[in-house]
Amino acid sequence: MGDGKIQEITTSLTGRKGTEFKKRFMREGSNRRKTFYIGDDYDGEDRSIAELLPQTNFIVPWFAPDAKKQELTNEFQAFVPKDPTDLLRYLKFS
């Protein structure tokens, strides 16, 4: 953990995203400032994850509906990249 590499991947998280996120990334000793999450379920489970993260560490995909981008930016100070290159730049310098 902390070396910038993916440690493991879990699939099929429907109904368990928040619980799994807390268990894996919000445990004691983790660097929350370096934990980011790219949302895909703007009205459901992702909101509980956004509440756990430091402001600007919740990322709304560039292809999300404009209304959701605005709403989540206002509520969680979410980052909305313009395109994939913008996302990579943001993660590299955050």
What confidence tens digit (pLDDT) does each residue in 10-35 have? Answer: 667 778 888 888 888 888 888 888 89
What are the CB-based long-range contacts (under 8 Å, 24+) for 8-13?
Answer: none
Give me the residues paired with residue 59 across strands.
38, 79
As a whole number of Å, the CA-based R_g of the chain is 13
Which residues pair with residue 38 across a beta bridge? 59
Tell whether 4 is covered by a domain: no
Residue 78: count other Cβ atoms within 10 Å of its Cβ.
Answer: 25
Predicted TM-score of the model (pTM): 0.76
Q: What is the extent of the structural domain holding 22?
A: 17-93
H helices of 1-94, in order, are 17-25, 45-52, 66-76, 84-93
Question: How many domains would you assign to the chain?
Answer: 1
Identify the pLDDT of residue 83: 92
**Within-domain flag for 76:** yes
